[in-house]
Amino acid sequence: MSNTQPAPVASEHVELKARKVSFDWEETPLHWVPGDPFTTHTINVLHLLLPAGERWFVHVYQQALPYITDDRLREDVIGFIGQEAIHSQAHDDVLPHLRKLGLDPTPYTAQVDWFFEKLLGDRTLPPGRPRRWWLMERVALIAAIEHYTAFLGDWVLNAEELDRVGADPTMLDLLRWHGAEEVEHRAVAFELFMHLDGGYRRRARTWALAFSALVFLWQRGIRFFMENDPSLVNPKSSFADFVRKGRQGVLPSTPAMLRSIPATSAAPTTPPRRGTPRRPWPIWPPPRRQRRPLMPRLTTVALVAGAALLVRRAVRSRMTTAPLWPMPALDTPISGYGRAAPSRARSA
Q: How far is the CB of 150 from Fe ion (least distance, A)?
A: 7
Q: How far is the CB of 122 from Fe ion (least distance, A)?
A: 21
The interface mask with Fe ion, positions 140-169, x = CB under 5 A, is ---------x--------------------
- The footprint of Fe ion on residues 293-312 (CB under 5 A) is none
**Closer residue to Fe ion in complex, CB, 87/202:** 87
Q: How far is the CB of 142 from Fe ion (least distance, A)?
A: 8
**Closer residue to Fe ion in complex, CB, 167/174:** 174
47 binds Fe ion (CB under 5 A): no
Which single residue brings its beta carbon nearest to Fe ion?
Answer: 87
- The footprint of Fe ion on residues 177-196 (CB under 5 A) is 182
Q: Which residues contact 12 (CB under 8 A, 6 or more apart)?
A: none
Binds Fe ion (CB under 5 A): choice among 31, 47, 59, 87: 87
* DSSP assignments along 188-250, one per residue: HHHHHHHHHT--HHHHHHHHHHHHHHHHHHHHHHHHHHHHH-TT-SS----HHHHHHHHHHTS
Q: How many residues bind Fe ion (CB under 5 A)?
A: 4
Specify whether the CB–CB gap between 347 and 105 falls below 8 A. no
Angle between helices 188-196 and 71-92 (to 10 degrees): 130
3-state secondary structure of 116: helix
Q: How far is the CB of 57 from Fe ion (least distance, A)?
A: 7
The interface mask with Fe ion, positions 212-241, x = CB under 5 A, is ------------------------------
- The footprint of Fe ion on residues 66-85 (CB under 5 A) is 84
Which span (64-72, 86-94, 197-205, 264-272) binds Fe ion, by CB under 5 A? 86-94
CA gap 152, 162 in Å, rounded? 14
CA gap 129, 135 in Å, rounded? 10
**Closer residue to Fe ion in complex, CB, 178/318:** 178
Give the residue ranges of DSSP H helices in the chain: 37-64, 71-92, 94-100, 106-113, 129-157, 160-164, 169-184, 188-196, 200-228, 239-248, 254-260, 295-313
CA gap 189, 198 in Å, rounded? 11
Q: How far is the CB of 151 from Fe ion (least distance, A)?
A: 11
Residues that bind Fe ion (CB under 5 A): 84, 87, 149, 182
